[in-house]
């Protein structure tokens, strides 16, 4: 349990306020998991909270909250929220809430949260859990249950649909579908509303979905609920057996890296998610364009810019993706000084990892044929070559280059 969170709870309590741990941290602690962060809810206003903590800062977005910092840890302190007197006044025609910033009581705060398992409160006043919505039962039966009517709550904030998928995947819970008001049906009916969510927020949510260490489970759930296609409309190509296996393996590798506490970058994630479409389009462009290099750059920019319309991928990540994709065409060309130049490329490591992934997946498909016209065997030997080349001494590198077969001659077409 976080020392910082306890300090905040006791300081607020001693000053005469109500204060509770709430949300993911209570849920995860009850499940025996390590919470990612600790959130506190209180009846003190942001100014009153700030007055109690030297290390507190008011962060103002739609709703003011206080960040209390302890070294590297930040405890988020939020004042109880309540419902609007007239919610329709602050909603779009579709029912999406534009403002959500009225203070309320503990009970009101509970009812406006998304899922019952996220609306459990823990207090150090008597070390008890407060549960207005039935969250404890749902934790026991491993159920993601919406507070209130799913369809209405999804319309208020369509991101809750992605959150339902995320928690189901992360916790290995099932999404409630036993009542008349089924979350599953509501997902089907409302998923198109994600279009109305800002593209910056969608980028954040996609990262939360795929970079939490359980991306494979998220992917399977999205496929099962027919939502993957809607989240990434460009991804027709990803439906093929080959490419769904490619995405699955890419996500598996990402999950593994996160487990091993190795760094992962959004650029690699998106390079994987978009690759089915990028490679497919590259092959199409090659029907009337000779240079694979130009074709992949064209296809890569096209796809990334289309995606960017509804999921903003920050520029630095987009540029890294372009480099990684272009390296798939550069890595085979090793003659002269080219292998050394490629090795020095600032994205070499990511491009090489991407090649390994492509090769790994192609081994499961005998008749694979990549954008360079390579099958699984050529990809495997190319990957091995680069693995060895990196490990070799200077002399060894020279020898490897000498032993390279001459430039492959294109077969003459009759
Ligand atoms: P994680 O482990 O991913 O942090 P979390 O449940 O803590 O999961 P947060 O995004 O940190 O999720 O949000 C904290 C709490 O705020 C949630 O548990 C939930 O009670 C509430 N909440 C967050 N986003 C929403 C939303 N879109 N609609 C309603 N309640 C929300
Ligand atoms: Mg949280």
Q: Tally the residues of the chain.
A: 414
For the CA of 197, the nearest ligand:
1
Q: Which residues contact 132 (CB under 8 A, 6 or more apart)?
A: 107, 110, 111, 119
107 lies in the same domain as 12: yes
> Does residue 344 belong to any structural domain of this protein?
yes
Q: Is 37 a catalytic residue?
A: yes
243 lies in the same domain as 369: yes
239 lies in the same domain as 384: yes
Chain segment 54-91, per-residue pLDDT in tens:
999 999 866 789 999 999 999 999 999 988 665 555 66
**Mutation to probe ligand 1, out of 21, 22, 108, 118 (largest number of atoms < 8 A from CB):** 118
Domain residue limits at 51 = 1-141
Span from the CA of 153 to the centroid of ligand 1 (angstroms): 14
- Residues enclosing ligand 1, CB less than 6 A? 23-24, 36-37, 39, 113-114, 118-119, 157, 159-160
The pLDDT score that the predictor gives to residue 149 is 92
Span from the CA of 35 to the centroid of ligand 2 (angstroms): 8
State the pTM of this model. 0.90
> Does residue 407 belong to any structural domain of this protein?
no
Marked catalytic residue, from 28, 109, 114, 370: 114
Residue with CA at minimum distance from ligand 1 atom 24: 114
Domain boundary among 186, 212, 231: 231
364 lies in the same domain as 314: yes
> Does residue 413 belong to any structural domain of this protein?
no
The position carrying tokens 């001659």 is 409
CA distances, 74 to each of 45, 47, 286 (Å): 18, 17, 51
Residue with CA at minimum distance from ligand 1 atom 7: 24
Residue with CA at minimum distance from ligand 1 atom 3: 24
What CATH number has the domain bearing residue 166?
Answer: 1.10.110.30
7 lies in the same domain as 92: yes
> Does residue 409 belong to any structural domain of this protein?
no
Domain boundary among 231, 249, 274: 231
120 lies in the same domain as 147: no
The position carrying tokens 């709870």 is 9
264 lies in the same domain as 214: no
Span from the CA of 191 to the centroid of ligand 1 (angstroms): 19
**Mutation to probe ligand 1, out of 21, 24, 163, 173 (largest number of atoms < 8 A from CB):** 24
Domain boundary among 98, 117, 141: 141
> Does residue 358 belong to any structural domain of this protein?
yes
27 touches 118 (CB < 8 A):
yes
319 lies in the same domain as 196: no
Residue with CA at minimum distance from ligand 1 atom 16: 23
> Does residue 29 belong to any structural domain of this protein?
yes
What CATH number has the domain bearing residue 366?
Answer: 1.10.3090.10
Q: Which atom of ligand 1 is nearest to the CA of 208?
A: 3
Low-confidence stretches of the chain (pLDDT < 50) are 414
Q: Which atom of ligand 1 is nearest to the CA of 23?
A: 18
227 lies in the same domain as 207: yes
> Does residue 412 belong to any structural domain of this protein?
no
**Mutation to probe ligand 1, out of 21, 23, 97 (largest number of atoms < 8 A from CB):** 23
For the CA of 212, the nearest ligand:
1
CA distances, 374 to each of 288, 359, 377 (Å): 19, 10, 8
Angle at CA 152, nearest 5°, toward 147 and 112? 40
What CATH number has the domain bearing residue 108?
Answer: 3.30.460.10
Q: Which atom of ligand 1 is nearest to the CA of 39?
A: 14
Q: Is 100 a catalytic residue?
A: no
Region of residue 32 (phi > 0: left; psi between -120 and 50: alpha; otherwise: beta): left
The position carrying tokens 């705060």 is 109
209 lies in the same domain as 253: no
54 lies in the same domain as 13: yes
Span from the CA of 326 to the centroid of ligand 1 (angstroms): 39
Span from the CA of 163 to the centroid of ligand 1 (angstroms): 8
Ion ligand 2 contact residues with beta carbon within 5 A? 24, 37
Q: How many CA atoms lie within 13 A of 317 on its CB side?
A: 19
The pLDDT score that the predictor gives to residue 1 is 82
189 lies in the same domain as 237: no
Q: Is 126 a catalytic residue?
A: no
The sign of the dihedral angle between the CA atoms of 88, 90, 94, 96 is negative
> Does residue 349 belong to any structural domain of this protein?
yes
**Mutation to probe ligand 1, out of 34, 36, 39 (largest number of atoms < 8 A from CB):** 39
The pLDDT score that the predictor gives to residue 98 is 57
Number of folded domains that form the chain: 3
Indicate the helix (H) or strand (E) that contains 120: strand 120-123
Residue with CA at minimum distance from ligand 1 atom 12: 24
The pLDDT score that the predictor gives to residue 412 is 52
Tell me which residue of 84, 73, 62 sits closest to 39, measured CA to CA.
73
């Amino acid at each position: 349990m976080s020392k910082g969170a306890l300090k905040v709870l006791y300081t607020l309590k001693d000053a005469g306020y109500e204060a509770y741990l709430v949300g993911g941290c209570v849920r995860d602690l009850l499940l025996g998991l390590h919470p990612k962060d600790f959130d506190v809810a209180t009846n003190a206003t942001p100014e009153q909270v700030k007055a109690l903590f030297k290390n507190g800062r008011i962060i103002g977005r739609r709703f003011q909250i206080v960040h209390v910092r302890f070294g590297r840890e930040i405890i988020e302190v939020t004042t109880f929220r309540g419902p609007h007197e007239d919610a329709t006044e602050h909603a779009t025609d579709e029912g999406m809430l534009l403002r959500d910033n009225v203070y309320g009581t503990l009970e009101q705060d509970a009812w406006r949260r998304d899922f019952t398992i996220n609306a459990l409160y823990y207090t150090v006043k008597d070390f008890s859990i407060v549960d207005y919505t039935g969250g404890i039962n749902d934790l026991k039966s491993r159920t993601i249950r919406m507070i209130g009517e799913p369809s209405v709550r999804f319309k208020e904030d369509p991101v809750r649909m992605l959150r339902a998928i995320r928690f189901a995947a992360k916790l290995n819970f099932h999404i409630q579908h036993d009542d008349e008001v089924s979350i599953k049906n509501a997902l089907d009916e409302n998923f198109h509303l994600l279009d109305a969510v800002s593209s910056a927020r969608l980028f954040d949510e996609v990262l939360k979905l795929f970079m939490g260490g359980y991306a494979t489970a998220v992917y399977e759930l999205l496929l099962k609920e027919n939502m993957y296609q809607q989240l990434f409309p460009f991804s027709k190509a990803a439906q093929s057996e080959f490419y769904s296996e490619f995405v699955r393996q890419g996500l598996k590798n990402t999950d593994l890296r996160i487990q091993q506490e190795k760094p992962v970058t959004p650029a690699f994630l998106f390079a994987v998610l978009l690759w089915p479409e990028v490679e497919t389009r590259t092959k199409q462009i090659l029907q009337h364009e000779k240079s694979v290099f130009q074709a992949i750059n064209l296809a890569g920019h096209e796809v990334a810019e289309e995606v960017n319309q509804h999921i903003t991928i920050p520029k630095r990540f987009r540029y890294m993706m372009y480099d990684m994709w272009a390296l798939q065409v550069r890595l085979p060309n090793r003659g002269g000084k080219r292998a050394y130049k490629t090795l020095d490329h600032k994205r070499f490591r990511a491009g090489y990892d991407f090649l390994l992934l492509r090769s790994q997946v192609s081994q499961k498909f005998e008749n694979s044929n990549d954008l360079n016209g390579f099958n699984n065997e050529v990809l495997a030997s190319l990957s091995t070559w680069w693995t060895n080349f990196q490990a070799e001494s200077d002399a060894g590198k020279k020898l490897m280059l000498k032993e390279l077969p001459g430039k492959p001659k294109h077969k003459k077409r009759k």
